[in-house]
């Protein structure tokens, strides 16, 4: 396993456009076409995209033909080869999430592909460059996605587009949670509570590369095997009622220093009882309410630290992606793709991402 000192370096921050909760900018596809654009092959006038006209179940995700957006100043049009699917896109689709987009909208926060066209004042990338996208202006569940230059990052040649589609949300979240919010240090013990999914597998790889002792959990044998293969030294079944006791025992009674938590509404109360002194729980995922005993934090000088990716300051976001690109380049990070669906089957992908038995990342492929 390669040491990942690169994962802590700071990249230059650039001002970022205002972000919504979903990570799309508040601009829409109605961007003024650029006077000067540089194109790769002649671009199609229309494209296939998933559109949501009403909030509801997965069936509201409809494949439609829509105008292909054109990049304005400081913008990039990316031909999407793979698109990451995340639980948050299912919450938004129901219309019950804190962030509610204006209808109709194109879902999607991330993906990977090739720069098709650039607007004026774009010097960071050129047509033909392989990139991954983290957020977008127009939504990524489409053949093309409009992005700002801050939203695209180089995709090294050794990394597939499907793998690149895991970077913008899952890996960025894992890095933010583990390193920036959790302040996980080499030599500490981390519990990745939910180590079989998109964020969890990323957190295991990042933590192991950073020199932590890594514990991971999953609800299936397949998921636990995956967590172990990604670098977890000890694995546990989060469906086993006594798994907290097992984890405590594995630390010799000392407790874990950091927990990155994928399902806080189920685990937070018990998490606090297995922290070492000065321990931190980073709440990455939660789907409801939970009761805790505050004394469990007092006894340990423990912290509960929430995180939401849209809150990440621009300079810290740039730092995250600089580190992730370095990790891809040196082979430390190797996203696991569990399932691929054609773009037209986005509804199936939304059902799959909410099912138990996670196995890495789920992606949509426009050309399938
Ligand atoms: P995912 O690929 O669907 O993975 C879900 C994970 O949760 C799986 O590892 C699953 O394990 C695990 N899980 C299920 N029951 C659990 C339990 N009782 N205890 C612990 N873990 C359990 O989803 P993801 O993309 O990794 O996202 C994980 C969570 O983080 C989601 O809730 C998502 O909404 C959230 N998230 C938050 C942010 C943010 O900014 N805060 C950003 C990205 C994602 P098994 O399937 O093996 O049981």
> What per-residue confidence (pLDDT) applies to 19?
37
Whether 196 is in the pocket of ligand 1, judged by its Cβ within 6 Å, is yes
Whether 263 is in the pocket of ligand 1, judged by its Cβ within 6 Å, is yes
Say which DSSP state 337 is in.
Answer: E
pLDDT at residue 27 greater than cutoff 60: no
User: 355, exposed or middle or buried, with CB in 10 Å at 0-12, 13-18, 19+?
Assistant: exposed
Average pLDDT of the segment spanning 157-166: 98
Average pLDDT of the segment spanning 282-303: 98
Whether 238 is in the pocket of ligand 1, judged by its Cβ within 6 Å, is yes
Strand residues in 135-261 grouped as ranges (E): 144-148, 152-154, 189-193, 213-218, 234-237, 256-261
**Nearest atom of ligand 1 to the alpha carbon of 220:** 47
pLDDT over 70 for what percent of the chain?
88
**Nearest atom of ligand 1 to the alpha carbon of 196:** 9
Instruction: Determine the Cα–Cα distance for residues 319 and 20; give it in Å rounded to an integer.
Output: 20
Whether 19 is in the pocket of ligand 1, judged by its Cβ within 6 Å, is no
Whether 308 is in the pocket of ligand 1, judged by its Cβ within 6 Å, is yes
User: Which of 199, 236, 287 best tests ligand 1's pocket when mutated (most atoms within 8 Å of CB)?
Assistant: 199
Closest CA to 95 of 152, 186, 170, 22: 22
pLDDT tens across 295-352, in order? 999 999 999 999 999 999 999 999 999 999 999 999 999 999 999 999 999 999 999 9
Which H or E run includes 111?
A: strand 110-118
How many Å lie between the centroid of ligand 1 and the Cα of residue 206?
Answer: 16
pLDDT tens across 124-139, in order? 999 999 999 999 999 9
Q: In this structure, what is the dihedral angle of CA atoms 93, 96, 99, 101, given to the nearest 10 degrees?
A: 50
CB proximity list for 157: less than 8 A, separation 6 or greater: 130
Which residue's C-alpha comes closest to atom 10 of ligand 1? 194
Query: Two tokens at 334?
Result: 């190797």
CA dihedral sign of residues 165, 169, 172, 175 = negative
Instruction: Determine the Cα–Cα distance for residues 235 and 251; give it in Å rounded to an integer.
Output: 13
pLDDT tens across 70-125, in order? 999 999 999 999 999 999 999 999 999 999 999 999 999 999 999 999 999 999 99
Which residue's C-alpha comes closest to atom 4 of ligand 1? 197
Specify which residues 118 forms β-bridges with.
Answer: 38, 76
């Amino acid at each position: 396993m390669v040491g990942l000192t690169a994962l802590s370096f700071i990249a230059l921050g650039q001002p970022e456009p205002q972000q919504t909760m979903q990570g799309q900018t508040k601009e829409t596809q109605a961007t003024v076409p650029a006077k000067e654009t540089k194109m790769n092959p002649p671009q199609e006038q229309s494209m296939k995209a998933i559109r949501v006209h009403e909030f509801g179940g997965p069936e509201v995700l409809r494949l439609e033909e829509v105008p292909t957006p054109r990049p304005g100043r400081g913008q990039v049009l990316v031909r999407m080869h793979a698109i990451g699917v995340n639980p948050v896109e299912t919450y938004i689709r129901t219309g019950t999430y804190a962030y509610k987009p204006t209808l109709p909208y194109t879902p999607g926060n991330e993906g990977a592909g090739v720069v098709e066209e650039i607007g004026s004042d774009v010097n960071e990338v050129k047509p033909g460059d392989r990139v991954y996208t983290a957020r977008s202006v127009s939504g990524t569940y489409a053949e093309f996605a409009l992005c700002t230059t801050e939203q695209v990052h180089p995709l090294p040649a050794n990394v597939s587009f499907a793998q690149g589609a895991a970077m913008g949300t899952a890996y960025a979240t894992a890095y933010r949670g583990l390193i920036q919010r959790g302040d996980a240090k080499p030599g500490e013990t981390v519990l990745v509570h939910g180590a079989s999914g998109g964020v969890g597998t990323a957190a295991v790889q990042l933590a192991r590369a950073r020199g932590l002792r890594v514990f991971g959990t999953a609800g299936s044998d397949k998921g636990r095997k995956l967590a172990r293969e990604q670098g977890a030294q000890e694995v546990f079944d989060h469906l086993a009622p006594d798994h907290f006791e097992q984890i405590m025992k594995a630390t010799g009674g000392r407790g874990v220093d950091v927990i990155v938590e994928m399902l806080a509404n189920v685990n937070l109360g018990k998490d606090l009882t297995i922290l070492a002194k000065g321990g931190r729980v980073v709440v990455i995922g939660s789907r409801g309410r939970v009761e805790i005993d505050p004394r469990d934090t007092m006894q340990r000088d423990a912290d509960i630290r929430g995180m939401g990716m849209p809150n990440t300051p621009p300079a810290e976001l740039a730092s995250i992606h600089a580190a992730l690109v370095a990790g891809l380049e040196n082979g430390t990070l190797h996203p696991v793709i569990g399932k691929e669906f054609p773009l037209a089957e986005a509804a199936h992908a939304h059902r799959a991402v909410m099912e138990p038995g996670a196995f890495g990342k789920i992606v949509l492929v426009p050309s399938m």
